Structure 1
């Protein structure tokens, strides 16, 4: 099987730095035989930080990061010298990345904005030196704090593609062909199931210099919500799309049934997906006459906007762009 450059899930072991211990020291020099406490504080342990990078579209660069171990803070020293903080580790990730605890599944961070930084695993605080504990009644404290421990555990990074419009449909519905015609993207196109194994993104140029992002996603099959076919690996990429464009081919045996199966798979995976805006496009419609189109319209849900298109014949694509743009901006 061909190895893909698109990696949307990795599991890594992470450990942030321990804080340095505070110093237990007393001033001693040739002029001072019994000086007061001058132990400095320990340095902070290094954080592990996630930073959004809009130039990245995959987690491929993290594929061989099996262990991320951050630096410990230095111990405090004499003359109330504070130890150096550990050097933070910054992990750059594509926008749409979700960080989770591998054991609990809890979401710990989400990166959605370019340049956004989130402290994923904070380093331990440095301990206080004994100079902090001097009092009128205890002028020579022997006590200094140890540094706090860092945080460690198995973590996961999961990428959910960010796009305005997600193309949803069974394999061979014409999604890749549509993307190749209305954007500059060049997805693999062939007449067999699962030609598209990874999400493909493209920018649609609209009127007056405007544009929006559309994603060709791997085809759903019935049972995808249970993990059949590409299953969850595909469905998670739909969660962030503002609009779902359902592509149903004109030569389908039952257009309404095909649409209902697609919607059911989304509902089984995450019922919140049904709150998104839906648009239905009947692809390959160059083979239809007006009478057949009218029959298909009767099958489709009346409350969902629909349009007939032909990517090969370049028919209905301008109207499709208009419909998608209007749907994207209807609440603005």
Structure 2
């Protein structure tokens, strides 16, 4: 009896050793992946069981239950949702490590400086990897869904390239962009020059959006800011075309006429004094900086030359001459009414 018991113990040890050796070999053997790898998505709410079962059904992972058991024994069940690129050479052990680390495929989307909120939202909704939670909502509903402490969303999202995992929502991305814009605005506001014609960071944000939309040549941002600041300090109307275009909305068809410049909208800075009620676009970092640190000078007017740069003038007479030279000769109906004195 003792001899039989001894043999059974030896057999058990050999079996255990064999299983351990096989388990070690299996955990560190490459999965049966295609040469170019495999994209596999683990959606929110799904667990390791979902993924291992699917990989097992595809013949990629042998013994999916064994991997789940190993994950529990090693406390590696906290997998992250997302899209994974399973590359050739991946083993059951390294697969589990990748899932627990959340090493998901990252996509990217770029919000462009000078875009409106509507354009930014359209860019997000053009990406099939982004969940469109704001689609179909009106502006008030969108602001409420975003949870922003603002009345109007325009201008409040920092233009940049954002990387994200598949399944990220437009709400998540815009909240991230809003947080960055708040930080940037706070930073530049703390470094503002004296004598500015606005009292709050929000007014600086509005000004930055005007600078962004008027600037074709980056090196002119501070000079354009200087013109706007001097006009406001003197009680002159800003008379800037992008505000008129923004106020027209869908009625704008690519050109401005004399009638457009006289049309009463809250954003028409030819008919209204001061800043428009909200930003008109997403301002970038340089435009934000220019809004609070304008270049010194004496110019009160500028006109686009058509090559992205402007002619700056100190007097209305010189400005109207520049308008005739650079704009009226190009298209008779474009800005056919010259700027006037305040």
Q: Please give the range of the TM-score, normalised by the shorter of the 2 chains.
A: under 0.3
TM-score normalised per structure 2? 0.27
Max Rg structure: 2
Greater fraction of residues in helix: 2
Greater fraction of residues in strand: 1
TM-score normalised per structure 1? 0.28
